[in-house]
A and B are shown apart, each in its own frame.
Chain A
């Protein structure tokens, strides 16, 4: 279980739901149409500018600051890898 910046515990499912909500706003898709296996670029059609917006949203929503090493799109290949990435960052 991860914790939000305010210390509130958050389950993996809650975290995934939050990230899917965020992705749905960025790529203008229904939440129901986004699955964990979807790739961000090919399946969800997130473009290079939206990728920067995604990074900005992650920092704001989860209150962590991304390092230079975090800014590697290949680390965020799919929705699943994005959830795992956020979990790791929240744990560190």
Chain B
């Protein structure tokens, strides 16, 4: 459900983009509402770049992303847009005590590249005494493990740790928070538009509504789904005009719900992207999202599971790789999981559980992946 104010804000934006950008010019002269605007993605913008860029904008900061989709994309932001976004992100961090003048230590994607990186960062934390440390949760977990082993304590200046680019795994979060004695907060965003949501004190991922508007749609049909249903997340930026992102596909699977007490919009993400799921003969995959939600929920409830990864080996066979201790409860649920999977997919599936020492992150992005499809890798290899 969206309120009248939100609907007016959306429709005003719809009129603005139709009047301003050539891409939407076919809609001029008609009464256009927000929900009638086409859904766009990286391909749409890459194919018609000039029809999206605001004329007369001279100075822009640019960055490049290929993200999880592998499609190269040039992101632009004017200095004014960048300032608005930076201040909005700061405001989220301020809720966790960050002063206006602060030092942040950013853990690089090369964190796992060399064994001495852990010692390097542990040392840097001691000398730099940052107010916050930002990294993938799996990196923060490794750091917490290493510093505990080496009996190195975190300086009192560090107020919180911030995860980004990786799904939060409750077991890892709990481990890090217990070792360091400070909260791990979550940031959800994409390079194109930066921050979308940030952790609140209730442990929810709260949408930063001053920056963005979100919708959840059935990825196959584009139909807007009601609150509480999983589907693909579309984002609309209320800040970026140099390149408008309106009803822009994130590729992420999520559900939205307004908190009954606070009225804040909460987003809950699945640790898997839409493009990663390969199913035989399926046109709508909304049902599989519900299954995956249940699956991830079950996994997160298992205290012995420190980390896990689902590998889809063929259309109907899956391997569940697990790191942890006391995994007997996982084996107990093996049959249930297989039954559930079969029920949702409508075909017989095989599920193998494999205990592993560690699950390594992606070598380039440094991100740990909860779901890997080898079918997609096979297709990509043939297409190259």
Contacts and interface: CB of A to CB of B under 8 A. Distances in A.
Contacts of B74: none
Given A41-B80, A68-B91, A71-B91, A48 B86 contact: yes
A47 interface: yes
A52 B131 CA distance: 15
B87 A51 contact: yes
A74 B100 contact: no
B127 to A, nearest CB: 22
Interface SS of chain B: helix, strand, loop or mixed?
helix
A55 to B, nearest CB: 5
B261 to A, nearest CB: 19
Nearest to B92: A68
Given A52-B100, A55-B100, A71-B91, A42 B80 contact: yes
B206 to A, nearest CB: 13
Given A41-B79, A47-B79, A56-B100, A73 B84 contact: yes
A49 interface: yes
A73 B84 CA distance: 6
B30 to A, nearest CB: 31
Interface string B86-105: 11001100100001110000
Contacts of A72: 84, 87
Interface residues of B, number: 14
A43 B90 CA distance: 24
Nearest to A51: B83
A37 interface: no
B77 to A, nearest CB: 10
Contacts of A59: 100
Interface in A47-69: 47-49, 51-53, 55-56, 59, 68
A49 to B, nearest CB: 7
A54 to B, nearest CB: 9
B212 to A, nearest CB: 16
Interface residues of A, number: 18
Contact of A74 (B84, B91, B99, B101): B84
Contacts of B86: 48-49, 51-52
B82 A48 contact: yes
26 contacts: A41-B80, A41-B83, A42-B79, A45-B79, A47-B79, A48-B82, A48-B83, A48-B85, A51-B83, A51-B86, A51-B87, A52-B86, A52-B100, A53-B100, A53-B101, A55-B100, A56-B100, A56-B101, A59-B100, A68-B94, A71-B87, A71-B90, A71-B91, A71-B94, A72-B84, A73-B84
A55 B94 CA distance: 13
Interface string A9-47: 000000000000000000000000000000001100111
Most buried by A among B82, B83, B84: B83
A39 to B, nearest CB: 9
Contacts of A47: 79, 82-83
Nearest to B99: A56
Q: Which 10 A-B pairs have the closest CB atoms?
A: A48-B86, A56-B100, A48-B83, A73-B83, A48-B82, A41-B80, A56-B101, A41-B79, A51-B83, A55-B100
